[in-house]
């Protein structure tokens, strides 16, 4: 079943009005017909099972047949602070992080990040990255579309996470796996959690020191060295299992 997102003001008592680019997608790409079922989310807390009722020039009208309040979201807000990687790795990271339940993705310009984005490039990248997030949210039946923020410095990222209940930073010199299990085990529903991932080459020692000074906890993800596009997804997977187990 095809999945779409709308704002709350597009939802009426018995129908939903779909506007924007989804109209062309429904009409001309998917070639959907009246009577076909679709799933619509309000980007917050509710899914609507609908049937396409009418096609207008710039809108699709979908009649509501069922309201679903069972959430597919994690019970905590998990933020991924991703050091800017090379090539198109960020696209893969965003796609999979959204599938794993991340709430927000923050690209971070760290000292060892090779990629440098000027204002024009950043605007273009963010538009594409947000589109990937929306597509992944539709595919994985999310209730929300995780936001991809503008690029932050490492200092700004630390400040952003200052009031989180827990933030971790995978680091090769962290304590053993038992320590990691203890930290993950303390993560509880209803909190905000930060995951800091370095780019290719990892974090500089000074960045790790900054993290420690701000209560961001170094953890290990095992005895093997993971690529930047693997490390964050590994951490998110473990956190997902912990939170959804409660």
For 191-217, write each residue's pLDDT tens digit. 999 999 999 988 999 999 999 999 999
Cα separations in angstroms, 235 against 107, 120, 161, 229: 16, 32, 17, 11
Fold of 3-68: Ribosomal Protein L25; Chain P (2.40.240)
Give, in order, the Cα–Cα distances in Å from 142 to each of 62, 67, 86, 112, 155.
19, 15, 28, 33, 31
Q: Where in the chain is the domain with CATH 2.40.240.20?
A: 3-68
Centre a 10 Å sphere on the Cβ of residue 74 and count the other Cβ atoms it contains. 19
What pLDDT does residue 114 have? 79
Neighbours of 238 (CB within 10 A): 19
User: What does the pLDDT average to over 14-43?
Assistant: 94
Residue 162 pLDDT exceeds 60: yes
In the CATH scheme, what is the code of domain 77-245? 3.40.1280.10
Strand 77-83 with 3-5, pairing:
unpaired
- Distance, in Å, from the CA atom of 177 to the CA atom of 193, rounded to the nearest integer, reads 19
For residue 28, give the DSSP letter: I
pTM of the model: 0.87
Question: What band does 164 get if pLDDT is binned at 50, 70 and 90?
Answer: very high
Higher pLDDT, 28 or 116: 28
> How confident is residue 115, by pLDDT bands cut at 50, 70 and 90?
confident
Q: What percent of the chain has pLDDT over 70?
A: 99
What is the per-residue burial (b if ≥16 Cβ within 10 Å, else e) of 202-217? bbeeebbebbeeeebb
pLDDT at 29 over 70: yes
Residues 179-190: tens digit of each pLDDT = 999 999 999 999
* Residue extent(s) of CATH 3.40.1280.10 domains in the chain: 77-245
In the predicted structure, residue 156 carries a pLDDT above the cut 90:
yes
């Amino acid at each position: 079943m095809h999945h779409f997102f709308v704002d709350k003001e597009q939802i009426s008592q018995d129908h939903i009005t779909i506007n924007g680019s989804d109209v062309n997608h429904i009409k001309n790409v998917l070639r959907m017909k009246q009577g076909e079922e679709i799933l619509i989310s309000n980007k917050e807390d509710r899914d609507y099972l609908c049937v396409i009722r009418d096609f207008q020039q710039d809108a699709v009208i979908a009649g509501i047949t069922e309201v679903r309040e069972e959430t597919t979201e994690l019970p905590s807000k998990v933020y991924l602070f991703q050091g800017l990687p090379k090539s198109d790795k960020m696209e893969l990271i965003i796609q999979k992080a959204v599938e794993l339940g991340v709430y927000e993705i923050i690209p971070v310009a760290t000292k060892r990040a090779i990629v440098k984005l000027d204002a024009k490039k950043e605007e273009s990248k963010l538009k594409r990255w947000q589109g990937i997030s929306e597509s992944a949210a539709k595919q994985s039946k999310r209730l929300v579309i995780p936001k991809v923020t503008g690029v932050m410095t490492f200092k700004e990222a630390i400040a952003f996470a200052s009031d989180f209940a827990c933030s971790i930073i995978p680091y090769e010199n962290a304590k053993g796996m038992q320590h990691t299990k203890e930290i993950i085990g303390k993560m509880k529903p209803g909190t905000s959690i930060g995951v800091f991932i370095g780019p290719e080459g990892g974090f500089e020692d000074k960045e790790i020191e900054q993290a420690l000074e701000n209560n961001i906890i170094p953890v290990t993800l095992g005895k093997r060295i993971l690529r930047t596009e693997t490390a964050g997804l590994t951490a998110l997977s473990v956190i997902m299992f912990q939170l959804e187990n409660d």
